[in-house]
Amino acid sequence: MKSLEEIAVNLESKAVSVTFFEDRARVRRMARPQCEDGVNSVAITGVSAIIDDASLVVTSSQGEINSAQVYRFLEADGEGAELREKLKEEVAQARRERDGAADEKQRAMVALESTLDFEKGILRRFGRFSSSEGIQKDAWKESFESLDQSVQSRLEELHTAQEDLRKAQKRYERAQRRLNQASSAEPRLRARIDVQIEVDEKSTPEVSLEYIVPCAVWRPSHRARLIDGDAPSLEVTTLATVWQRTGEKWVDVEAFFSTARLSSPSTAPLLDDDVLRSQPKSEEDKKRIDAEFREQVVDELSDGRRSVDEMPGIDDGGSPLLYRALRPLTIDSDGEAVQIECHDATVEVDVEQIAYAELMDAPHLVAKGVWRSEYPLLAGPVELIRGTEFAGRTRQDFVAVGESLELGFGPDDAIRLQRSVDEKKSRKKITGRKRMDRKVHLYLSNVSGEERSFELVERVPVSELEEVTITVDGHRPDRDGFVHIPVTLAPRETRKLSFQYRIEMHAKVELSV
């Protein structure tokens, strides 16, 4: 074996995988240095200058790693001149696109004004005719319809031109900002990893670097597509939106997305004494029972058991999860958002039209199912698609595996709902018992030429006190107080529905809203 010697080698590394966390990322890089027999010094470049030194772990497929440390230095930007020339061309191109978009907007405005002036002239000319002059109504009607179409077309052209100008202005500002940054003469802070590796023979070992960098984040979102048919289903795609300004460029890396929080403490909280005290009721308290109306959030699992209002942890149900991108990811260090699919699931659903007249004036198309997948559904924004049509956006709370999932896909504009409530209070003179009668009136209209069927959902209070009883006439609510009324409306049909319930209270009960 050769005597101990050091051979300096500068080597560029390549990022092979990135694991995104809530506010940082773990990067794994690979390098293959040409090592001679003995101790070799290798300077591995390509790492970020803001690397967390304490998180660095270096391993080798052959030999032993004697030492590894981060070395930072200032370096003049050797590619600055070439980069600035390239950015100048981008700025010039963006300026030409912006000017062209501005000209197109001006042309669209002139065309719209000309069309409007022509329409005004036609209307003035039409006003000079008297009813006895035999106006050709069909010809004039056809002319007015053609003018309206022309005006609408000009408005759409103007809107498109304004949008193109806005985007072109944004591209120009971004290109100008990048040019200003590249024009700075200040040297850049660089970093490398100085590694000493000892091998027994001449070889090309595979050196792996793992470290943590800040300025890299991810957030989940979803795309839900409703597939109608005999067996309707919901195709849910979980998307990871990532941003990074680490100074590194990751090309075709294997990406992972974790909900673990590396900065959260793992120690148990300190316990304090919780002192309970009791005291006898006063004579005044014995004569009075305070009760109040309150809103109760109802969450149910698929088997009917209650879920808590808020899941522990942030977005992951209290258990760290790890998602994997469905394809390699390339992302520059520019802070721009990049979306990538990381999980697909298909859920069998029941599609219903449900109307909550207390909250909205039309029934909504609702897809209900049980979330069956290897991963839970993380909380986040959801893009709704019905077939091939965009149906809107919403936000979904955390849904555990086996928990019920419910998503709305927009209202049915053919149905109109109105709701009113009559309330009457009374009290018996001898016993002092109190009574509150409420009657709910629902006015339903089908303005379409087709039959419409939906479920009308109303709610009544649920008592938790023996001294308060609630009776519903004509309908049986479920245990949470919801009354489900199936409704079918014929074309152009208008109908009125009513139901009432009574709240009876002991004389000692004082009810507050």
Q: What is the CATH number of the domain that holds 465?
A: 2.60.40
Q: Which two tokens stand for residue 173?
A: 């500002």
Regarding whether 178 and 210 lie in a shared domain, the answer is no
Angle between helices 137-182 and 80-127 (to 10 degrees): 160
Rounded distance, CA 496 to CA 491, Å? 15
Digitized pLDDT (tens) for each residue of the chain, 513 residues in all: 333 344 455 788 999 999 999 889 999 999 999 888 888 889 999 999 999 999 999 999 888 999 999 999 887 655 566 777 888 888 889 888 889 889 988 888 888 888 888 777 777 766 655 554 555 666 667 777 777 788 888 888 888 888 899 888 998 888 888 888 777 656 778 899 999 999 888 888 999 999 999 999 999 999 999 998 788 999 999 999 999 999 899 999 999 999 988 765 566 777 888 888 888 877 777 677 776 666 666 555 444 343 444 433 356 677 888 999 999 999 998 888 899 999 999 999 998 889 988 888 889 889 999 999 989 999 889 999 988 888 888 998 899 999 999 998 888 888 999 999 998 988 888 778 888 898 999 999 999 889 989 999 988 888 888 888 888 887 888 888 888 889 999 999 999 998 898 888 888 777 766
Indicate whether 267 belongs to any domain. Answer: no
**Contact residues for 194 (Cβ-Cβ < 8 A; gap 6+):** 41, 42, 43, 44, 67, 68, 69, 70, 71
* Cβ-based neighbour number of residue 279 at 10 Å: 5
Residues 60 and 84 in one domain: no
Alpha helices in 265-355 (DSSP H): 283-286
Tokens of 147: 């003018």
Same domain, yes or no, for 313 and 369? yes
From CA 13, how far away is CA 33, in angstroms rounded? 10
Residue at 1: amino acid letter: M
Answer whether 310's CB lies under 8 Å from 211's CB: no
Pair 294, 333 in one domain: yes
What does the pLDDT look like over 323-376, one tens digit per residue? 999 999 999 988 888 999 999 999 999 988 899 888 888 898 899 999 999 899
Which H or E run contains 250?
strand 250-258
Tokens at residue 56, please? 């660095």
Is residue 112 situated within a structural domain?
yes
Question: In this structure, are 111 and 235 located in the same domain?
Answer: no
Residue 482 lies in a domain: yes
Q: Which residues contact 113 (CB under 8 A, 6 or more apart)?
A: none
CB 507: neighbour CB atoms within 10 A?
15
Same domain, 342 and 430: no
Residues 25 and 165 in one domain: no
Within 10 Å of residue 215's Cβ, how many Cβ atoms?
17
Look at the chain and report how many structural domains it folds into: 4
CA atoms of 293 and 279, how far apart (whole Å):
26
Say whether both 367 and 473 belong to one domain: no
Per-residue DSSP letter, 403: B
Is the domain of 376 the same as that of 387? yes
Using DSSP's 3-state secondary structure scheme, residue 478 falls into: coil
Residues 250 and 398 in one domain: yes
Domain final residue pick, 345, 379, 411: 411
Residue ranges making up the domain that contains 71: 8-75+189-214
Domain shared by 147 and 255, yes or no = no
Tokens of 202: 């001449």
Q: Residue 501: which residues within 8 A CB-CB, separation 6 or more?
A: 437, 438, 460, 461, 470, 471, 472, 473
